[in-house]
Structure 1
Amino acid sequence: MEEKYSVLEGAEPFYFEGNNIGILVSHGFTGSTQSMRPLGEAYAKAGYTVCGPRLKGHGTHYEEMEKTTYQDWVASVEQGYQWLTERCDTIFVTGLSMGGTLTLYLAENHPDIKAIIPINAAIEIQNMAAAQNVEARFLDAIGSDIKKPGVKELAYEKTPVRSIGEIIKLMEDVKSNLSQITCPALILVSKEDHVVPPDNSQIIYEQISSKEKRLIQMDNSYHVATLDNDQDVIITETLNFIEQVLKK
Structure 2
Amino acid sequence: MKLGILFLHGYTGGRYELLPLINYLGDRYDFVIEAPEYPGHGKKLLIKNTNEEMWFEAAEKSYIALREKCDTVIVIGFSMGGVIAGLLSLAHQPDKLILIAPAFDNINLQYMVKYPYTYIHNMRYADLRILEFMLFRTFKVDYKSLVSFKKLQQRALYVPEQITANTLIIHGTIDGLVPIQKSRQLVKRIKKAKLIEIEKGPHEICLSKMNKKVFYEVEKFIFKNKSIN
| TM-score, structure 2 normalization | 0.84
Q: 2: distance between equivalents of 1:165 and 1:198? A: 23
Q: CA deviation at 1:127?
A: 4.9
Quote the RMSD (CA, aligned, Å): 2.2
Aligned to 1:151: 129
Q: Which structure is higher in helix share?
A: 2
Match among 81, 85, 104 for residue 99 of structure 1: 81
1:207 matched to which residue of 2? 189
Shift of 1:83: 1.7
Moved over 3 A (4+): none
Higher relative contact order (CA 8 A, sep 6+): 2
* Alignment check: 8 A CA contact 1:40 1:51 kept: no
Question: Does the alignment pair 1:118 with 2:99?
Answer: yes
Kept in 2, the 8 Å contact 1:35–1:154? The answer is no
Structure 2's unaligned 5+ residue stretches are 110-121
CA–CA distance in 1 between the matches of 2:218 and 2:79? 16
Match of 2:113 in 1: none
Mapping 1:11-26, distance limit 5 Å? 20-26=2-8
Distance in 1 between residues matched to 2:221 and 2:142, nearest whole Å: 36
Report the secondary structure of 1:175's partner residue.
coil
Contact 1:151 1:228 in 2 (8 A): no
**Aligned partners of 2:97, 2:174: CA distance in 1, in Å?**
22
Q: Conserved in 2, the CA contact under 8 Å of 1:125 and 1:197? A: no
1:225 to 205, 210, 213: 205
For these two proteins, the number of residue pairs brought into alignment is 211
**Secondary structure of the structure 1 residue equivalent to 2:165:** coil
Q: Percent identity?
A: 26
Instruction: Give the deviation of 1:149 after TM superposition.
Output: 4.6
What are the Cα deviations for residues 117-139 of structure 1, in whole angstroms up to 9, with x where unaligned? 100000112458xxxxxxxxxxx
Matches within 5 A, 1:1-248: 20-45=2-27, 46-59=29-42, 61-62=44-45, 64-111=46-93, 113-127=94-108, 147-152=125-130, 154=133, 156-158=137-139, 159-210=141-192, 213-247=193-227
